[in-house]
Structure 1
Amino acid sequence: MADAAPKPKSKKKLMVIVIGLVVVLAVAGGAAMFLMKKNAATDEDGEEAAAPAAHAKHDDKNPPTFLPIDNLVVNLADPGGERFAQIGITFQMADSHSADSLKTNMPRVRSAILMLTSQRSSEELLSRDGKLKLAKAISDEASRTFGIEPEDEEDEDEDAPKKKKKKRKAQPESPVQGVLFSSFIVQ
């Protein structure tokens, strides 16, 4: 009977040790999480936070409207015609009114996107530069639905046409703020 008395004390000691260990681990985990969040906030205030702000227009009063369209499957201009691309596109629009207007003209815009993409090779679309050029061409085409003719890139390179640009009427800013790829598969 002398052995029965120490067992409950042993279990109590073990339980106290386990609970203490759990509390210490919880406090250590909380401290680690706090320090990681503090470091992340410091990084966001540094150089990395400035880079995305330079690329995106952000207006708290008039946030952009995003207009996704159904994925498109396009045969590419590769020899043999065996390559194709599946592209998911989302338009970043200035407001919901312009998004509705673009939605009304979506059959024409989708057709233009198919034509623009089918003129490119898989090699061109696999490069970042090729994707950027395609996005610019799609944005220009979508802007045409609002009566805005984009400036030709060739004119920007030559000095003589720059003088002509100054004489032309200034185009209104396009409500198409960007073309975002939600998926891009080339096979």
Structure 2
Amino acid sequence: MAKKRSGGTRKPWWVLGLLIILLSMGSSAAVYYLLDETSGDTGEQQSEGEQQQEVVAPQPSYIKIEPFTVNLQSDEYDQRLLYVGLSLQVTDEATKRRLKDNMPQVRSRLIMLMSSQNAEALTSPKGKEALTDEVISLFERPIGGSEEPLSVDDVLYTEFIVQ
């Protein structure tokens, strides 16, 4: 009789453990399914929103300025040089055309601006950011006799050596 009682008491615990395992597996599967479904929906909504933004936002184009070298102002050394190549990011085709048509004036403005820079300032990231802002503001003035504003959005340095 003792064997029946010990065997009998083990069976309900075994069944209870099996039920707990099955319930936890089922709830895990349900949570996974629900989370996967919601993340799939938001992914579709985001991609649709991104597509709408891509349609609205104009595609930027770039004007490459051939590299040039200028003398820099320096406090510590006798002579410092800057070798710089850059591209201007524009979104307006009219701006792109005017910049290309007036490239000698564009290069002249850039050379004058770059040669007035301090060599020590240009070696730091903040100095490069300040230079970028100055280059963008350089194109706020009309160019080539036109009164239409130029829309230069960014300056991208392709080569930048201070020596």
Structure 1 length as normaliser, TM-score?
0.51
Structure 1 residues 59 and 94: CA distance shift in structure 2, 3 A: farther
Gaps of 5+ in 2: 1-42, 44-52
C-alpha separation in 1, matches of 2:94 and 2:157: 22
Superposed displacement of residue 174, structure 1: 4.6
The structure 2 residue matched to 1:120, chosen from 96, 102, 117, is: 117
1:165 alignment counterpart: none
C-alpha separation in 1, matches of 2:55 and 2:62: 15
2:72 alignment counterpart: 76
1:50 alignment counterpart: none
Checking the alignment, whether the CA contact within 8 Å between 1:102 and 1:142 is kept in structure 2 is no
1:1-187 alignment runs, 5 A limit: 59-61=54-56, 62-79=58-75, 81-145=78-142, 174-187=150-163
Deviations 1:113-132 (A, max 9, x none): 11111111211111111111
Structure 1 residues 109 and 81: CA distance shift in structure 2, 3 A: farther
C-alpha separation in 1, matches of 2:55 and 2:131: 29
C-alpha separation in 2, matches of 1:70 and 1:81: 27
Number of matched pairs:
107
Superposed displacement of residue 143, structure 1: 2.7
Structure 2 length as normaliser, TM-score?
0.58
SS of the aligned residue for 2:95 comes to helix
CA RMSD of aligned residues (A): 2.4
- AA aligned to 1:98 is T
- AA aligned to 2:102 is N
